[in-house]
Amino acid sequence: MDFVQLEKARYSLRKFSSRPVEQEKLNLVLEAARCAPTAHNNQPQRVFVLKSAEAIEKADACAACHFNPPLMLVVAYEAEKAWVRDAFDNKNHGEIDAAIAVAQMMLQAAELGLGTTYVGMFAPQALLERFPEMAGCTPIALLPIGYPGEGAHPARLHENRKPMEEIVTVL
As for how many domains the chain has, the answer is 1
How many residues are present in the chain? 171
What is the percent of the chain where pLDDT is above 70?
94
Strands (E), 17-130: 45-50, 71-78, 115-116
pLDDT band at residue 169, thresholds of 50, 70 and 90? very high
Q: What is the mean pLDDT of the chain?
A: 91
Instruction: Classify residue 4 as exposed, middle or buried by CB count within 10 Å of its CB (0-12, 13-18, 19+).
Output: exposed
- Which is more confidently placed, 28 or 159? 28
CATH number at residue 91: 3.40.109.10
Residue 153: per-residue pLDDT: 85
Structural domain containing residue 133: 3-167
Other residues' Cβ atoms within 10 Å of the Cβ of residue 83: 16
Buried b (16+ CB within 10 A) or exposed e, 145-169: bbbbbeeeeeeeeeeeeeeeeeeee
Q: What would the pLDDT profile of 146-156 be if each residue is shown by its tens digit?
A: 999 998 888 88
3-state secondary structure of 166: helix
For residue 44, the one-letter residue type is P
For residue 171, the one-letter residue type is L
pLDDT band at residue 83, thresholds of 50, 70 and 90? low
Least Cα distance to 79 among 34, 49, 45 occurs for 45
